[in-house]
């Protein structure tokens, strides 16, 4: 067994401490003997994301459990390129493993965006019932058809919340004409247009300035990103909308993964599954502690009327549009967990 045991709890401080142990260079110590397989695992997530600490633990456990036969060098925080670059690399074999958000994966596997449908999941019980259940199987089947493979359970890229400078966002009426920053994603743009807002795509590294200069009125992100980007300095309200949940998918290059003997494949899946499950708990606990910290920094939290938002989206034809795009079977799998939306 590895000497790296999962923590019993998690805090912002402990996550940052773990991240500090991940240098901005290749995270790799040469094994005692030459490995039969030397692979690379890349992420685009910043060092303060819990996923990086858990994946580093997993690569260490894989090396130990395989007696050094499989050595996975870890490259976090976009060391090998942007998310888009890395997605290309894992498909071509430039990297053997990649952790990436479902919203980004959807550019090559459109069905991956089904977990981003607005105001569907109300809590984590629904989330994990869905992605660990029938819908997850359907998404993985589509991933496998695209030249890459899904090698573990999905991890947690967090529920997203809406922040604002001038007012809390509690009902769809609060979004009428509202200038909100969104990532470059058809689903995100479609969602906020259907709610009467004016979504604007802005890179995250430009978001603080856009909020500061009032180029946009607000934005939407998970609490980890809001805190890491210091957006609390230029926002006053956070509405707990949980309007979109996004997973992390751990992908493998098909040829590289299939080249592994069955016993090494089993080790890889087991240890990456463990990392995903442990990271889920990290994020859920971290969101609680971050809320307390953000309140101390002056942020006012409000709870949104989710039923009103879902009704507005149904009336606008948003759910019917995306049901038609995704198909009846995936949509039925989603609704079996979250309830009827159309």
**Residue 19 vs residue 121, higher pLDDT:** 121
Q: Is 7 exposed, middle or buried (0-12, 13-18, 19+ CB in 10 A)?
A: middle
Task: Give me the pLDDT at residue 84, please.
Answer: 87
What's the confidence (pLDDT) of residue 35? 95
What pLDDT does 222 receive? 93
Helix/strand/coil (H/E/C) assignment for every residue in the chain? CCCCCCCCCCCHHHHHHHHHCCCCCCECCCCCCCCCEEEEEEECCCCCCHHHHHHHHHHHHHHHHCCCCEEEEEECCCCCCCHHHHHHHHHHCCCCEEEEEHHHHCCCCHHHHHHHCCCCCCCHHHHHHHHCCHHHHHHHHHHHCCCEEECCCCEEEEEEEEEECCCCCCCHHHHCCCEEEECCCHHHHHHHHHCCCEEEECCHHHHHHHHHCCCCCEEEECHHHHHHCCHHHCCCEEEEEEEEEEEEEEEEEHHHHHHCCHHHHHHHHHHHHHHHHHHHHHHHHHHHHHHHHHHHCCCEEEECCHHHHHHHHHHCCHHHHHHHHHCHHHHHHHHHHHCCCC
Per-residue pLDDT tens for 219-259? 999 998 898 889 999 999 999 999 999 999 999 999 999 99
pLDDT for 4 equals: 42
- pLDDT at residue 27, rounded to an integer: 45
| pLDDT at position 13 | 60
Would you place residue 11 in the very low, low, confident or very high pLDDT band (cuts 50, 70, 90)?
low
What average pLDDT does range 142-150 have in this prediction?
95
| pLDDT tens-digit map of 190-224 | 999 999 999 998 877 789 999 999 999 999 999 98
Strands 70-75 and 179-182, by their bridges, are unpaired
Percent of residues, the chain, with pLDDT higher than 90: 80
Contacts of residue 155, defined as CB under 8 A and 6 or more positions apart, other chains included, come to 51, 54, 99, 247, 248, 250, 275, 276, 279, 280
Of the listed ranges 27-41, 142-156, 282-296, the least confidently predicted one is 27-41
The dihedral through the CA atoms of 270, 130, 255, 72 has a sign that is negative
Summarize the confidence of residues 304-330 as an average pLDDT. 97
pLDDT in tens, 174-187: 999 999 999 878 89
pLDDT at 5: 46
Residue 33's pLDDT band, with cuts at 50, 70 and 90, is low
Which domains occur in the chain, in start order?
12-113+122-157+247-286 (3.40.190.170), 159-244+293-338 (3.40.190.170)
Note the pLDDT tens digit of each residue in 255-281.
999 999 999 999 999 999 999 999 999
Phi, psi of 137 (to 5 degrees): -60, -40
- At 137, list the tokens: 């199987």
Residues 6+ apart with CB under 8 A from 262: none
Residue 159 tokens read as 């529920």
What is the phi/psi pair of residue 214, to 5°? 65, 25
Separation CA 84–CA 42 (nearest Å): 12
Q: What is the mean pLDDT of the chain?
A: 91
pTM for the full model?
0.87
Which of the four pLDDT bands, split at 50, 70 and 90, describes residue 28?
A: very low
């Amino acid at each position: 067994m590895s000497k790296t045991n999962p923590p019993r709890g998690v805090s912002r401080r402990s996550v940052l401490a773990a991240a500090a142990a991940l240098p901005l260079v290749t995270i790799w110590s040469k094994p005692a003997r030459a490995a039969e397989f030397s692979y690379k695992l890349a992420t685009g997530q910043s060092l303060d994301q819990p996923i990086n600490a858990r994946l580093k633990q997993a690569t260490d456990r894989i090396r130990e459990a395989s007696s050094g036969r499989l050595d996975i060098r870890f490259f976090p925080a976009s060391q090998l390129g942007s998310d888009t670059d890395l997605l290309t690399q894992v498909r071509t074999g430039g990297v053997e493993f990649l952790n990436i958000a479902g919203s980004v994966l959807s550019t090559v596997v459109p069905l991956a965006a089904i977990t981003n449908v607005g105001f569907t999941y109300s809590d984590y019980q629904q989330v994990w019932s869905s992605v660990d259940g029938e819908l997850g199987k359907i998404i993985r089947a589509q991933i496998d058809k695209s030249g890459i493979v899904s090698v573990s359970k999905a991890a947690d890229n967090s529920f997203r919340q809406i922040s604002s400078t001038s007012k809390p966002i509690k009902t769809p009426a609060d979004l009428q004409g509202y200038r909100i920053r969104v990532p470059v994603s058809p689903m995100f743009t479609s969602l906020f247009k259907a709610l009467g807002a004016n979504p604007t795509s802005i890179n995250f590294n430009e978001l603080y300035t856009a909020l500061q200069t009032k180029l946009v009125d607000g934005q939407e992100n998970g609490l980890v990103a809001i805190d890491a980007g210091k957006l609390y300095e230029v926002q006053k309200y956070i509405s707990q909308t949980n309007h979109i949940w996004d997973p992390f998918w751990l992908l493998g290059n098909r040829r590289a993964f299939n080249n592994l003997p069955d016993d090494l494949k089993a080790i890889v899946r087991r240890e990456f599954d463990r990392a995903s499950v442990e990271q889920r708990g990290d994020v859920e606990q971290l969101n609680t502690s971050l809320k307390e910290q953000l309140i101390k920094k002056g942020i006012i939290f409000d709870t949104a009327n989710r039923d009103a938002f879902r009704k507005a989206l149904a009336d606008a034809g948003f759910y019917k549009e995306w049901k038609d795009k995704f198909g009846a079977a995936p949509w039925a799998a989603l609704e079996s967990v979250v309830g009827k939306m159309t």
